[in-house]
Chains A and B, each alone.
Chain A
Amino acid sequence: AQKITQTQPGMFVQEKEAVTLDCTYDTSDPSYGLFWYKQPSSGEMIFLIYQGSYDQQNATEGRYSLNFQKARKSANLVISASQLGDSAMYFCAMREGRRTGNQFYFGTGTSLTVIP
């Protein structure tokens, strides 16, 4: 089974609108971390936001927030007030803390295009 599933290969959003990028994960480890990264066309991977499995609150970082639904094993990224510079690939990742010695698993990514 896939550890991280991103079902949206491509998404479009109007500038200044909000967009949700989906991510579901699969683990039986009670302790894990969830990460979102952005990869612009230039290729660098940029860390956006982190959610720990024991965190009670949804993580927020500026215009990014993580909609963490533990029972559903989903960790969707919400980008508010989209900007043209948000056009990029977005990867969801998970680290399992105990079972696999801190290996990271990445999804296949979602390509986001912001339309002016």
Chain B
Amino acid sequence: GAGVSQSPSNKVTEKGKDVELRCDPISGHTALYWYRQSLGQGLEFLIYFQGNSAPDKSGLPSDRFSAERTGGSVSTLTIQRTQQEDSAVYLCASSLWAGQGNNEQFFGPGTRLTVL
């Protein structure tokens, strides 16, 4: 595709349910990032994938959060037993590589998660 796509665009769920958020990066981009943006706040890093290397999970807020990237392309962020504080916009970004230089990130439109 032309850009990073995310689905669903909006997700409303009940507290305690599990949710899966999907990200399709730009074809050929080896690096993929997940961020969380709460209302009126900056971006909170969650996790990033670089090629076939082990992901950097240092930003995941709890063990209820996990992410996979299958085949070096599509990524799924899973939140188990959702809590109301998980309500936020979840942004995915990809870049051509995660090395030196102007490896700008291209962002998807985000998934707005609301936990009731």
Using CB atoms and an 8 Å cutoff, list the residues of chain A in contact with chain B: 31, 33, 35, 37, 43-45, 47, 50, 52, 91, 93, 95, 97, 100-109
Q: What's the least CB distance linking A116 to chain B, in Å? A: 24
Contact residues in B for A91 (Cβ distance below 8 Å): 42-43
Q: Is B33 interfacial (CB 8 A cutoff)? A: yes
Using CB atoms and an 8 Å cutoff, list the residues of chain B in contact with chain A: 31, 33, 35, 41-45, 48, 50, 56, 58-59, 89, 91, 93, 98-107, 109-110
- Whether A102 and B48, one on each chain, are in contact in the complex, defined by CB atoms closer than 8 angstroms, is yes
State in angstroms the CA–CA spacing of A93 and B99 once bound together. 15
Contact residues in A for B48 (Cβ distance below 8 Å): 102-103
Q: 9 A-B pairs, CB-CB below 8 angstroms?
A: A33-B102, A35-B105, A45-B91, A52-B100, A103-B58, A106-B42, A106-B43, A107-B42, A108-B42
- Whether A43 and B109, one on each chain, are in contact in the complex, defined by CB atoms closer than 8 angstroms, is yes
- Whether A95 and B103, one on each chain, are in contact in the complex, defined by CB atoms closer than 8 angstroms, is yes
State in angstroms the CA–CA spacing of A103 and B102 once bound together. 14
Contact residues in B for A52 (Cβ distance below 8 Å): 100-102
